[in-house]
């Protein structure tokens, strides 16, 4: 006879952004948090936070190599990978452990280490990591299970040393050679990191350009910049892998060519973990991509079930998960005063070299929507700050002083509908543009209603706004 189910007011499945839902205002409720891995989710343990520590180290090495062009005798003399890796992990691992320890210290919260699955409406079974199971019921359930890397079923791949973003940051040793499969943001960031740290990188992408979902001008300049620093093979796919006796691998591409490597990094995308939850037994619908279907309040199709972040979002980004968590938190606490998630203008950044940031429509998307569009653009090399980065007046290298701001405007409304930045600190430069798109500020007069510090990199934004205003008025 099975044990009776423990009843909770709230069960949160996933301790990434889901963990942030529960604060002191839930102290009157009985709460269970179910997590099968370390607290903090992908971002803290396997994603944006540790990867940016590696990005920073790689940028320092790359900058040192550029010194001689500016008459500075800098150089990169290699990297102590074990020390770099251990420094990064020593920062993130204690944070994850502290987060779990704090939750376990709360009288009203039970932490269950294991994998949850639904067994019916409002009913959950947790397969515990130490063996056994726990049956739970709940008034409300929050699905915050994140996503996992996709590893394709390619012949021979599982017979060689291959990694995903979940494991590559914990490599025992820095390889001499690495093949990165995938040209999206994860593949491009890690290709940039390992090339910057001195690895001989080959990147394989089935599209004709890297970052193919970005604006075409952005994808083009990033692809050209990458080709200057590592080998880029576009328009080809990995067909099969042959393991070698010495532990290396031979990758066979579908154009008949081969690439030898020590390590394979698979970075072709991620899939939601919702498929692990037996959601059908609870009446929770998912879409064709496996995402939990939610309404504007983050409610799933079953009563008392909510979802957030990569489990349900069309944009698998940490800042989206954080906003979703705040919406779910408010709506759990205020069921008679629900707030709405706003996913209309979600920005994104890619920490490559050059850095990329975007929000809103690409030029192609604007044309597909039939907008009477205008395009404004300004190159960083045409600003005083860009001059400071140039090694000579003809140097317009996007990985140094180059890059640009490209703005898409709608003539019918006079509004900014898309912004794309390729430049050092692009993720910061784009922030005011995010605000103007989100608030619907008219482009006319926008640049001249404020001061722009001279000579600062933000003048490239000013220049693009002025150009767009001129194009809209023409």
pLDDT, tens digit, 9 for 90 and up, residues 102-148: 999 999 999 999 999 999 999 999 999 999 999 999 999 999 999 99
Query: Do 6-45+86-149+271-333 and 157-268 fold alike per CATH?
Result: yes
Residue 445 has pLDDT above 60, yes or no: yes
Checking if the pLDDT of 70 tops 90, the result is: no
The pLDDT score that the predictor gives to residue 392 is: 73
Q: Can you read off the two tokens belonging to residue 345?
A: 């203008």
Domain range 6-45+86-149+271-333, CATH architecture: 3-Layer(bba) Sandwich (3.50)
The pLDDT assigned to 2 comes to 53
Neighbours of 215 (CB within 10 A): 24
Quick check: bond before 44 cis, omega within 30?
Answer: no
157-268 CATH pick, 3.50.50.60, 3.40.50.720, 3.20.20.70, 3.40.920.10: 3.50.50.60
Distance CA 109, CA 97 (A): 16
Say which of 56, 158, 334, 454 is annotated catalytic: 454
d(CA 473, CA 139): 56
Residue 258 has pLDDT above 70, yes or no: yes
CA distances from 301 to 239, 259, 298, 304, 440 (A): 40, 47, 10, 9, 32
Which of 283, 244, 236 lies closest to 260 in space, CA to CA? 244
Q: Is 237 helix (H, G, I), strand (E, B) or coil?
A: coil
Let me know if domain 354-473 sits in CATH 3.30.390.30. yes
Res. 397: pLDDT tops 90: no
Q: Kindly tell me if the per-residue pLDDT of 295 is higher than 90.
A: yes
Bridge partners, residue 394, by sequence? none
Q: 200 has which bridge partners?
A: 177
On the CB side of 11, CA atoms within 13 Å amount to 28
d(CA 224, CA 209): 9
CA distance 49 to 56: 11
> Residue 398 above 50 pLDDT?
no
Query: What is the mean pLDDT of the segment spanning 170-185?
Result: 97
Q: Is position 454 annotated as part of the catalytic site? A: yes
* 221 burial level (CB within 10 Å; 0-12, 13-18, 19+): buried
| Mean pLDDT, the chain, integer | 95
Domain boundaries, the chain: 6-45+86-149+271-333, 157-268, 354-473
CB of 328 within 8 A of CB of 304? no
| pLDDT over 60 at 341, yes or no | yes
């Amino acid at each position: 006879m099975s044990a009776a189910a423990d009843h909770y007011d709230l069960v949160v499945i996933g301790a990434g952004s889901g963990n942030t839902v529960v604060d002191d205002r839930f102290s009157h409720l009985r709460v269970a948090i179910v997590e099968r891995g370390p607290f903090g989710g992908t971002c803290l343990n396997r994603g944006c936070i540790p990867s940016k520590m590696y990005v920073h180290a790689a940028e320092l090495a790359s900058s040192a190599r550029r010194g001689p062009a500016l008459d500075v005798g800098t150089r990169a003399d290699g990297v102590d990978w074990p020390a770099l890796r251990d420094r990064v992990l020593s920062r993130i691992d204690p944070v994850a452990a502290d987060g779990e320890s704090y939750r376990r210290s709360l009288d009203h919260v039970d932490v269950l280490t294991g994998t949850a699955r639904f067994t019916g409406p409002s009913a959950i079974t947790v397969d515990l990591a130490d063996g056994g199971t726990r049956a739970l019921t709940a008034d409300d359930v929050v699905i915050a299970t994140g996503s996992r890397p996709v590893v394709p079923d390619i012949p021979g791949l599982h017979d060689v040393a291959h990694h995903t973003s979940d494991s590559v940051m914990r490599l025992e040793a820095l390889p001499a050679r690495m093949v990165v499969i995938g040209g999206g943001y994860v593949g491009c960031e890690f290709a940039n990191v390992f090339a910057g740290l001195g690895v001989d990188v080959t990147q394989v992408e089935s599209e004709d350009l890297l970052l193919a979902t970005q604006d075409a001008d952005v994808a083009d300049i990033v692809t050209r910049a990458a080709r200057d620093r590592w080998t880029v093979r576009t328009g080809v796919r990995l067909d099969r892998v042959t393991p070698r006796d010495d532990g290396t691998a031979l990758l066979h591409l579908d154009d008949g060519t081969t690439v030898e490597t020590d390590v394979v990094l698979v970075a072709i995308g991620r899939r939601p973990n919702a498929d692990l939850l037996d959601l059908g037994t609870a009446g929770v619908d998912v879409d064709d991509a496996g995402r939990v279907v939610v309404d504007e309040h983050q409610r799933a199709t079953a009563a008392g079930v909510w979802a957030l972040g990569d489990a349900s979002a069309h944009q698998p980004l940490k800042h989206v998960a954080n906003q979703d968590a705040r919406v779910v938190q408010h709506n759990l606490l205020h069921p008679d005063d629900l707030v709405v998630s706003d996913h209309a203008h979600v920005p994104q950044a890619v920490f490559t070299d050059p850095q990329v940031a975007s929000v809103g429509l690409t030029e192609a998307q604007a044309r597909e929507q039939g907008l009477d569009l205008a395009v404004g653009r300004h190159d960083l090399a045409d600003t005083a700050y860009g001059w400071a980065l140039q090694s000579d007046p003809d140097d317009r290298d996007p990985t140094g002083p180059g890059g640009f701001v490209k703005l898409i405007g709608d003539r019918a409304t006079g509004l900014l509908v898309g912004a794309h930045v390729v430049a050092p600190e692009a993720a910061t430069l784009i922030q005011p543009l995010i605000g103007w798109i989100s608030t619907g500020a008219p482009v006319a007069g926008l640049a001249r209603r404020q001061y722009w510090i001279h000579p600062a990199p933000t003048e490239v934004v000013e220049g693009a706004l002025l150009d767009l205003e001129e194009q809209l008025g023409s």
